Structure 1
Amino acid sequence: MSPDEVEAAVASLFRLNGYEVAGPLQIQSASVDIRADRIGDPFAKPVFVEVTTERVDTTKLGKDLTKYYACNEAYPGCTFLIVSTEGFTQSVVERSPKNVELLTYEALAARFEKFHPYQSAVLTEGHLAQELLRLADVYEPPHFDFDTRLEPALEALHEWIEDSESGSGWLIVVGEYGTGKTALTQMLLRQLMEKNKADPTCPIPVRIELRDFTKQFDVSSLLHKFLDDNNLSHIPLHFFESLISRGRVVLLLDGYDEMAQYMHLLERRVCLEALAQLGRNGAKGILTSRPNYFSEAEELRVLETLYSSLENSGIAAVEYAREAALDELFERQFINRSERRLQDLDKEQTEALVSRKLSGDPDKSAVVLRLLNKVSRPSDDGARLLGGKPVIISYLVDLADQLSEPGNGGEDDTGRTDLVTEYQCFRLIVDQLMLRDRRRSPAMPMDSRRRFLHRMALRLSDSDKPLFQEVDFVNLINDEFRQRLDRLPPSERESDRQTLYADLRSSATLTRVAVGGKEGWRFSHNSLREFLVVEYLLSCLQAGRVPAS
């Protein structure tokens, strides 16, 4: 950069972080490049900055110290910075007064970034750091299917992020349910944060779970939510956006499909517009989704619906032209896109993952592997084994103790060749989770819990219901357990209702979450919710009854 460009960049850093900037200016006959005053703080001392593209030696330091003395005389206690793109000689570092800070441009920018709370939350402190550490201990890296060859997924993503020729924009990672898309972004977050901690010039990873958005968002609301949720509200939004556009931040957006299922087509278009604008402005990021939620046909349908509404409303030509320009942007970033398809784990990877998760217990590992080798999905070219789905592996490993008991599906099936369908496997998983609930709470009949969870899964599939709060539990309890409650004296009903609420929210299929500032419960994996909906609808069809609304 030229001297003028560097000076403008330094001034921009201060402006983006809430300073009023002036310069060059005269301070007692000394010419100073920049003065910055904190907006809204009348008691803050001014900051004076000398900017240079030279390597600062003792001669240059002497000239700048003359300016420092003038500034300090006029504004005692002021901050004085010397910012150099080329650094400082050792003698300058040794001789510089303690009230004069020597910074490279990169070091100055890092002063403003202030992502340390997020870095600590990811790597060292709190629930997230512990969760990522546990994941790293057992993680089995998957592969991408790309150009008819397999490539290690994590390595490919690191290469894409570090490749300057790949430019800005989005890399779409698609995979069916349970292939490990979320775990992949979590591992990538941890590894990229470790790189940034070791070398602050590496980009800062920002992971956002799109499933937390059930209404359309724009760029500001997307980024604001991340900053607020991660104790980074001290970072100005405009500065955060500038970090993204300059490549200092890499975005990891997980679960486009889990967001899209709650939105109408036009709402999805607003979200796609926000993501496209980020990419056009310099953002580089990874977006995960199931294939059927992020196909060319699906997203083109968004565009076609919009054009139909524009034509019917007689919209002005200038607005139509704007939408056509946006569509060109969509086509460049989302239709003619970079894409990688996540594969299930192969037999060797599956065995390695089970072995790590059940380390020291070969008998339980053998039980789980026997069952995994029989899990299949029907397809046009015959049954396809599904034992390599990390979500199924995790469920079965978690249930290894129960599966090892006689009669629970884990007995030695030597000589048997029948396959277990995907549906049967999830029924086995849910059955075992229900048995765990019965051991914990024998007073609750299993069929009553299952009926309640069927209805809960159905309601959580509505577009406006990302989680179940206490009022939702109570309303469904009143409906599902009406006869039981009506038999009780009025004085006892509320107590029993609260007992049911405490029991049902603790079901093994559920997990507690916070979404949009609200706390509640939802199923621990989307596949469990989907299975329970399918199981419920099938039971209604078989019984000839109309499903509950």
Structure 2
Amino acid sequence: MSTIIKGNNFRDLVASTLEAAGFHAESEIRVGPKKVDVIWHREDIDGIIRYGVEAKDYASALSMVECREFVTDYGTLVNDKAVDRAWLISRGDVSPDGRLLVDKNPNLKCMTFAELQRRLMNLDPYLRHLVETFEHDRIPEWFVAPHTDEDEPLDDVVDRWLVEFDAPPLAIVSGYGKGKTTFARHLAARLARNALANPTERLPILIPLGEIVEEQSLEGLLGKVFTTGPGVRGYNFGLFQSLNRLGRFVIIFDGFDEMKHGMTLHRFEQMIVELMRLDAGGAKIVILGRDTAFQDDIEFKSIILGRQTTAGGTEVAARDRRAFRQVQLREFSLDEAHAYVRAFFPIAANDALRQLPEVDREHWKTARIEELTVGTLDPLLIRPVHAQMLCHIATDRTVELKSLSKHGLFDRFVHFLLDREVRKAGRDPNFTLATRRRFNAEVALWLWLQGGVSTTSLAHVPFELCKTAAAGVQHDYDESALRKELTAGCLIEKAAGTVYFGHRSLQEFLVSEAILTRSANAGFSERDLDIYIRAVNSEIVDFIVGAMDSQDSARTAMERWLANLPGWESIDLEKTGMRLLVALYERLKPDSDVLGPWQPFLEYFSANGQIEYAFRSRRAREVARRLAFDSRTASFRVQASTALLIARLLSANQESRPDLVAGMVDPNSIRTAIAKAREIGKHKIHYVRREADYALWLLLSSLTFSMSQSGSGVVVNLDSFYSDAADGSPVDVIDRATEGGENVVIPPQALYRSWGARESEIERVRPFFTERSISDRIRPLEVEVLRKRHVRSSAVSETLRQARPTLTMPRKKLS
């Protein structure tokens, strides 16, 4: 590109930037004998002020020669009143002597293009505010720099990204309480210090999405940021866009998961697209938020990777924005956690210990820090938000830290938060901490049952929740006033008209409390069990189990779950819900015969130590074999559920297949079937009915025989076995990986060994495996169960199936 073209482009860039700032600017205007690069004017109180601009796009710093030439040419124009003021704008630096020469002349000014941009929209008060609030909160005293999941300092990752040309926007995504918001404030303050010291540096713009979630447009978000706190002189959206394209800002959107609450995926995508309107030119954009904002991989790919999924399941690139570059954060290392405690705890403890003499205070703080970092609390400390809560709780000298669990931690933390709310001026003292805690829990559960969201309009909170929480409280509030009073002292109030839980873990704890409270009601039913067990996630399960381990009332409440379990049917229970049931089973130790069809699943998963179908211990293998054996004499519903459990175990445990099949099928049943087949004659078929001998019926439904030189084999079609077992069972714990599988060949000798029968007994069942004239005449009477259920399509060829008579009947509740 020629020097002339470069100069013209820079001149036009200066003019367009002035236009974006709201000024009328014209390029290449002759003023007297001089052709001026840019003329612009602005309205002042006493009239229009006209500026002349000389734009210089030099590779090196402007020398004294160019500055002297500017003073000569434009000083004359100013003196002749052709222009009121004149500016020399340089793309790069200006020599100190040249700058001094220009600036000492009245109405002449020399500046770099970066300095011009800073003057057009004066963000210095905003930058100072970022630094001052960061320091006022004493964050620099306890801040521990976060690391990525690859153990790289996050600051280093961000700094490399800042200087990378045309880098995609950065997404810092991780679970709750890993320090994302604190890092956002740290980054904004660090960049603000740099920008205040050097006008050429990028300016940070920190936008906390959770606090201004009601704004639905980019203009609204930025307007709110720049009109609250210190004002920003010269702000308008057009100028901001222009400067952003020029690479003047680092825009930090913190809390996209808070913005997401209450939004459908489509609305969430729209909002991200709206924010990414700023991703143009030299823009640098960071977003931070929790990974729990994404319900599944489809949502993650859509929002972070920019890969949308069509109705047909095909991935396509989003057309209107770039994908993000994802960065994950790890938790504290133990050294970092201990360093954080040693720095933060003295600050947190100062107010609590004000009444103690200074010598005693310092001695107690030292002893308490040692107690916090001795090792017993390390599992809690490695998550930054837990470490912070623990420090606050530890300031209470009456708290015994050694026995504090995660449930105990949140129990105290919620108490402290609500105690602070109750003490605030303006709160009605009739509404006690217990009342407000009950209301918080009910709202948390109500929001959770809407689909896991955590925000809504205050007007949408059901009045029944307010009435339930306020039961027994003397007041004369009407519906509107009662809702206002309760939400005003609520942990979820963030802004007018919008409620929001600051930490998802806080909501999860409150959800667990609400479930426990409702489970204690005398009217707790199978329907309630079905609702709540589908609502829990891993964190909620941990909180409920933690409550049971420390509160008799919680154990009593959860006994109602086991009391309703025998009659509750669910064919699509998630593993998380099963983990809760296993925890109840292990802690409450009910008799097996009161658990109904859930008994085999509970016994097996408890023995396995994990909610997995693959064996994790010898005991799990032994229990599975015993369950299969015991099912021979169990009720039909328990037989059916055990068969489905065995079907999934067959898919997951190849080496144990003969034992599992042998355990479930009684050799006496085979002997009886052989006898009946012989009794009715050579040309008639003996049909095994499903209700008469479920295990043998199930095996026959999925069984064929293979013959080879090495001998015969029983071929079990795992797809068919699983499908028929699934149709029969009233309960199931889903796992897509164990829904059938390939055909399995089991030598009859393996079954004989598993049965452990004497040779004379084996001889009586051997014809079933060796004589086709017998086995071909023992068939299952096929039953078509009329209910919808997700099953894998069978991999076996239809030609391998023998035609079977079918009895079609509506499904009734098994007993």
| TM-score interval (norm. to shorter) | 0.7 to 0.9
Identical-pair percentage: 21
Secondary structure, aligned partner of 2:395:
helix
Structure 1 counterpart of 2:101: 94
Matches of 1:280 and 1:11, distance apart in 2:
20
Q: Which has the larger radius of gyration?
A: 2
Structure 1 counterpart of 2:193: 194
CA contact (8 A) 1:468 1:522 kept: no
CA contact (8 A) 1:168 1:283 kept: no
Matches of 1:4 and 1:542, distance apart in 2:
78
Q: Are residue 373 (structure 1) and residue 379 (structure 2) matched?
A: no
Structure 2 counterpart of 1:69: 76
- Per-residue CA shift, 1:110-135, capped at 9, x if unaligned? 322310120121123xxx3454x411
Matches of 2:98 and 2:318, distance apart in 1:
57
Name the TM-score, length of structure 1 as normaliser.
0.76
1:138 pairs, out of 137, 142, 146, with 142
CA contact (8 A) 1:56 1:92 kept: no
Q: Report the residue type matching 1:93 in the other structure.
A: L
Structure 2 counterpart of 1:378: none
Q: Report the residue type matching 2:517 in the other structure.
A: S
1:23 pairs, out of 17, 23, 27, with 27
Closer, same or farther: CA 522–65 of 1 in aligned 2, 3 Å: same
Q: Are residue 109 (structure 1) and residue 117 (structure 2) matched?
A: yes
Matches of 1:434 and 1:237, distance apart in 2:
40
Shift of 1:139: 1.1
CA contact (8 A) 2:247 2:284 kept: yes
Q: Are residue 333 (structure 1) and residue 318 (structure 2) matched?
A: no
1:80 pairs, out of 66, 69, 86, with 86
Shift of 1:42: 8.8
Matches for 1:82-231 after TM superposition, within 5 Å: 82-85=88-91, 87-88=94-95, 90=97, 93-94=100-101, 97-124=105-132, 128-131=133-136, 133-146=137-150, 150-161=151-162, 163-165=163-165, 167-212=166-211, 214=213, 217-230=216-229, 231=231
Secondary structure, aligned partner of 1:221:
helix
Secondary structure, aligned partner of 1:206:
strand
Shift of 1:52: 3.0
Closer, same or farther: CA 356–342 of 1 in aligned 2, 3 Å: same
Structure 2 counterpart of 1:382: none
Segments of structure 1 that go 5 or more residues without pairing to the other structure are 312-322, 376-384, 414-418
Matches of 1:183 and 1:523, distance apart in 2:
17
Q: Report the residue type matching 2:101 in the other structure.
A: E
Structure 1 counterpart of 2:513: 535
Q: Report the residue type matching 1:198 in the other structure.
A: A
Closer, same or farther: CA 15–539 of 1 in aligned 2, 3 Å: same
CA RMSD of aligned residues (A): 4.1
CA contact (8 A) 2:254 2:287 kept: yes
Structure 2 counterpart of 1:245: 245
Shift of 1:104: 2.7
Q: Report the residue type matching 2:172 in the other structure.
A: V
Residue-pair matches, total:
491
Closer, same or farther: CA 473–278 of 1 in aligned 2, 3 Å: same
Secondary structure, aligned partner of 2:279:
helix
Secondary structure, aligned partner of 1:103:
strand
Q: Report the residue type matching 2:515 in the other structure.
A: L
2:53 pairs, out of 49, 55, 58, with 49
Closer, same or farther: CA 409–15 of 1 in aligned 2, 3 Å: same
Shift of 1:436: 7.0
CA contact (8 A) 1:357 1:397 kept: yes
Shift of 1:23: 2.9
Matches of 1:59 and 1:207, distance apart in 2:
39
Matches of 1:439 and 1:106, distance apart in 2:
50
Closer, same or farther: CA 266–519 of 1 in aligned 2, 3 Å: closer
Closer, same or farther: CA 32–280 of 1 in aligned 2, 3 Å: closer
Please say which of residues 532-541 and 112-121 is displaced more in the overlay. Answer: 532-541
Matches of 2:185 and 2:465, distance apart in 1:
34
Structure 2 counterpart of 1:447: 434
- Per-residue CA shift, 1:506-542, capped at 9, x if unaligned? 57xx38644xxx3877555442233212321343245
CA contact (8 A) 1:80 1:99 kept: yes
Matches of 2:281 and 2:186, distance apart in 1:
27
Closer, same or farther: CA 169–40 of 1 in aligned 2, 3 Å: farther
Shift of 1:43: 2.0
Shift of 1:91: 6.0
CA contact (8 A) 2:149 2:328 kept: yes
Matches of 1:173 and 1:354, distance apart in 2:
24
CA contact (8 A) 2:55 2:89 kept: yes
- Per-residue CA shift, 1:164-187, capped at 9, x if unaligned? 34x332121121111111111111
Secondary structure, aligned partner of 2:285:
strand
Matches of 2:458 and 2:233, distance apart in 1:
26
